[in-house]
Structure 1
């Protein structure tokens, strides 16, 4: 099979299933950020908590991203437990607590 034909077939498959599954995938939450550093931090956080029921993961990640704001890199780079733990203290996901995240 020629690469051009393979690309066309793979693109068609991607376009067929993208809308159906992408909104549920926790990794898609990182696309709300635009800077490369923010996407990397958001991706690390999303992948770290991507176990369990998808709806629960997404709910947790939305809460987390809301609390840390639109600049996850800046939040983590400037994070100090003393100053910022209050943002995460009551944030729990399965057996992980906000203190674990801090």
Structure 2
């Protein structure tokens, strides 16, 4: 395939998968349940945090997280007492447990009280074509309060070599415009041009088969390589191709 043919092929797949029908099988349905900005971003952040493993299990457990917070995530983050938070202890999704959940609530409250919310933290160190430094800064702020050491592993750091798949996915949800009814587009201080593809086993394998990625590990260096190649197709919205790569891998077994 020539570069032009590859771009046309991927654009066709974007149209197929960047569609509301995609929501039913994706964790993005969790933040779609809310209308308040802070509820949407907290629900999205928590759903993205546990987005590894079986997709049905991810969605069910993300719903359970919302229920444990009374389906008012921002109010729970800001106003829950220590007794309220004890109700989160039984929660578990793979290695993310109730203690991690409580730590996340405390760190999120700290961000809203002292750093003007999630959007402001991610915007602070944003580069023109990358949010990877922003993610690293976010992790620093998230854990600047007293915290459980075990919980640190649930926030990735691109500056330490991670592809940070789940946070890049969360950022896609928040930043890409809601033009097709899939992404939420509630953050206006950041641009789709700054986003990076959520690189996982599916998108990575498809990218390699299409010649968009040579590096074998799905790490920060691979993400940079994929970023550069996707920006050749659309530098204003490179992450729209996440739908094509993911859809080809998961739904078409490409």
Shorter-chain-normalised TM-score: which range? 0.7 to 0.9
Question: Take 1:39 and 1:19, find their aligned partners in 2: how far apart are those partners?
Answer: 17
Matches within 5 A, 1:1-102: 14=15, 16-17=16-17, 18-80=19-81, 82-102=82-102
Q: What CA distance in whole angstroms lies between the structure 2 residues aligned with 1:74 and 1:43?
A: 15
Query: How far apart are residue 24 of structure 1 and its match?
Result: 1.1
Provide the alpha-carbon RMSD of the alignment.
Answer: 1.9
Give 1:59 deviation, angstroms. Answer: 0.9
Q: Equivalents in 2 of 1:71, 1:85: separation in Å?
A: 14
Distance 2:30 2:83 in 1: 26
Structure whose residues are more often helix by fraction: 1
1:19 Cα deviation from its structure 2 partner? 4.5
Q: Note if contact 2:51-2:58 (Cα within 8 Å) is conserved in structure 1.
A: yes
The alignment's TM-score, normalised by the length of structure 1, stands at: 0.76
Which residue of the partner structure matches residue 5 of structure 1?
none
Q: 1:49-86 CA distances to partner (integer Å, 9 max, x unpaired)?
A: 11111011011011111121231001011234x22233
- In the other structure, the counterpart of 1:4 is none
Count how many residue pairs are aligned between Structure 1 and Structure 2. Answer: 90
Deviation of residue 28 (structure 1)?
A: 1.9
> What is the rounded CA distance, in whole Å, between the counterparts of 2:64 and 2:20 in structure 1?
23
Runs of 4+ in 1 over 4 A off after TM superposition: none
**Residues of 2 paired with 1:42 and 1:58: CA distance?**
12
**Which whole-Å deviations, capped at 9, do the CAs of 1:10-35 have from their partners, x for residues lacking one?**
6xx54x43244221110221111110
Structure 2 unmatched runs, 5+? 1-10, 103-254
